[in-house]
Structures are given as C-alpha cells and as structure tokens.
Amino acid sequence: MVSKNNGKDMVTDMAKVVILGAGHVGSMCALNLARLGICREIVLIDIVEGKADAQAKDVADATVFMDRMPVVREGSYQDCNDADIIVNAVGVSRKPGQTRLDLLDVTIDIMKDVVARLNQTTFDGYFISISNPCDVVVNYAREHLKLPKNRIFGTGTLLDTARLRLTLHQLTGVSANSIECFAMGEHGDSSMVAMSQITLMGKPLYQLQQEKTQIFGKITYDMLLERTHQLGMEIVIGKGSTEFGIGAALAVVCKAVLYDEKRILPVSALLEGEYGQKGIMAGVPAIIGKGGVEEIIELSLNEQEQKAFAASCDVIRTYIAKANAR
C-alpha cells in the first residue's frame, strides 16, 4: 500500500507486485519476493494459458513454509491499475551461443504489446525491467510509458556485479559482504569492471595487491572481466536458463524501493550527462529508495575504464536504434 506524500512516496504497508512473464525468471522473482515477506500480493501474468496460474499455485505452496503468506495468484493487466511495482520479465531465454542482444527482435515485439496494454491502465508505480537485452528493453519502455524517469529502470549490471563479487570471493576467500565492486555498462558482453574502485575489507584492491601479493597479486582485469561475462553462459549451457541469481537480485531491488533503503545498487538508469553519456540507459551505481533511482553515483573511473564504459554505451546505443527502427 502506497502512502501518497509528495507524489509517489514510500510504501507504509505491504505492497502489490505484478510480474509480467511467468517463465523461469518471473516465477523465481515471485518466489524470492514471497520469501522476503515484503508483499501482501504477488500477481503473475503470462500469455501462455494456464502457465501463470500453475506458477502462482506452486509459489503459494511454498509460502506455507514462510513467516508471511502473501496472496500469490494469476491476474490480468487490470491488476496493474493499483500495483505498486510492475516487474517486466517477458521474453525468451537465450540459447547456448546467443548473446542477450540476440534476443532484441523477439523481446521488442512483445514489448510493443506490453506498453500498449499498460498505457490503457492507470498504473503509477515503479516499473523494473529484467527482460533481455535489459538496457535496450528498459529504454524502449521508458520512451513509451508515461512514467517519471526515476521510476522506470532495469536490473542492469546488478547480476554482473554479483558474479564479480562471487569471483573475487572465490579467488581471495574474503566474504562477499566485505567486497565492494561494480560491473558497469551493458548487462551483457560489453560490460566493464571498475577495477580501480574495487575494495576488499575496506582496502583498495591495488593496495592489497602490494601488501599481500600471494593472495591478491594474481588478480587481473582480464580475469575478472572474463568470469563476469562467462558465468551466465555456463549456466545457460548447463541448464538452459538463468533464474536463481536474477530472481534474488530483483527481490533486493524491490525491497530497496519499498523500504526506502537508500541502497547503492548498479541498475540500468537514464544517464543525463553522468560519465559523459546522455539519453541512454546503462548499468551504473545508483541510490535506490522510495524515489526509485534517487541519485546516480559517479565513480572516479580512470581513463581506461572511462573508455571501456563509453564503448559499452555505444553498443547499447546501437541496439536502441535497432529497437526503434522495428
């Protein structure tokens, strides 16, 4: 339930979240939202008859073992009228050898129908997009939905950053909770790692590489970038889709919004001069709270990192043009 204070403000009670797409990702988002106990109602919508209903019933079964039991059900676009958050998880899974950008045509065709339906509702909440290619799809939604720029954003490089933290943990043994790092740019193969900004246990990586060479000296930019890029495809090759990581990531973003956490998360947000980029949505660290994307954090990237980020934005920009040409 949203308290109307200074416009679209904070959630004071339990929220209603509508998930578009009840496949591997959408259903896992529902499960993670239920597990966090931050929703009074979770509504699943899918174009495949019976799928959303089946997934909702499956998640509802699991809520019996949770501290809180939200209502989980199948719904329709009418449910968007009073939704606090819409999660966009439409589309198809990529196949082995495909990049996320290869999904552009299919997803944009679906998005045309999604935005047309949403524009017929009175939805005035937060639109958080997962669908790949993430940055391109959320930019398409931003251009076609009647929502403030701060309340429409994508999960961006949040999952890429999680994989980066996991890699650093595995290489060093340092708890992931004590590692600060960011992957930025496209949620995809052109993303970059802000190597100069990595800290472990409160110390910059470059300092630790001098102090404890045996543990930290082996870490290179290319090593971190390769693992960040490859982990997703390894999962796709092994099981056909990714779902657990992105489901957990989405739930964290929703919680940051609903509980006004002011949490710094790397999401796909509209850039208006930050990092030298304008009119494009890309993965950058941002403060997430009741205002959605409340502030973009500009890291002090070195020259090499700035060039890598700009190159990734150029990739996004190219595919935005392709999406708009469809």
**Residue ending a domain, choose from 130, 154, 178:** 154
Both 111 and 224 in one domain: the answer is no
**To which residue do tokens 């429409």 refer?**
152
Beta strand spans in 123-163 (E): 126-129, 152-154
Q: Could you say which of 24, 144, 169, 187 is catalytic?
A: 187
Both 99 and 10 in one domain: the answer is yes
**Residue ending a domain, choose from 103, 127, 154:** 154
Both 142 and 22 in one domain: the answer is yes
Both 173 and 131 in one domain: the answer is no
Both 133 and 209 in one domain: the answer is no
- Report pLDDT for 6: 37
Both 319 and 235 in one domain: the answer is yes
CB 11 within 8 A of CB 79: no
CATH number at residue 95: 3.40.50.720
Domain that holds residue 28: 2-154
Q: What is the pLDDT of residues 94-106, one digit of tens each?
A: 888 888 988 999 9
- Report pLDDT for 14: 82
- Report pLDDT for 98: 87
First and final C-alpha spacing in the chain? 38
Q: How many domains does the chain have?
A: 2
Q: Which residues are CB-contacts of 304 (< 8 A; sequence separation ≥ 6)? A: none
- Report pLDDT for 13: 56
Residue 158: half-sphere exposure toward Cβ, Cα within 13 Å: 29
Both 142 and 170 in one domain: the answer is no
Both 204 and 186 in one domain: the answer is yes
Q: Catalytic: 187?
A: yes
Q: Based on C-alpha coordinates, what's the Rg of the chain?
A: 19
For 153-180, give one letter per residue: b (16+ CB within 10 A) or e: bbbbbbbbbbbbbbbbbeebebeeeebb
pTM value > 0.85: yes
CATH number at residue 259: 3.90.110.10
Both 81 and 192 in one domain: the answer is no
CB atoms within 10 A of CB 94: 20
**Residue ending a domain, choose from 135, 154, 173:** 154
**To which residue do tokens 């009119």 refer?**
279
- Report pLDDT for 252: 98
Q: Which residues of the chain carry a pLDDT beneath 70?
A: 1-13
- Report pLDDT for 148: 97
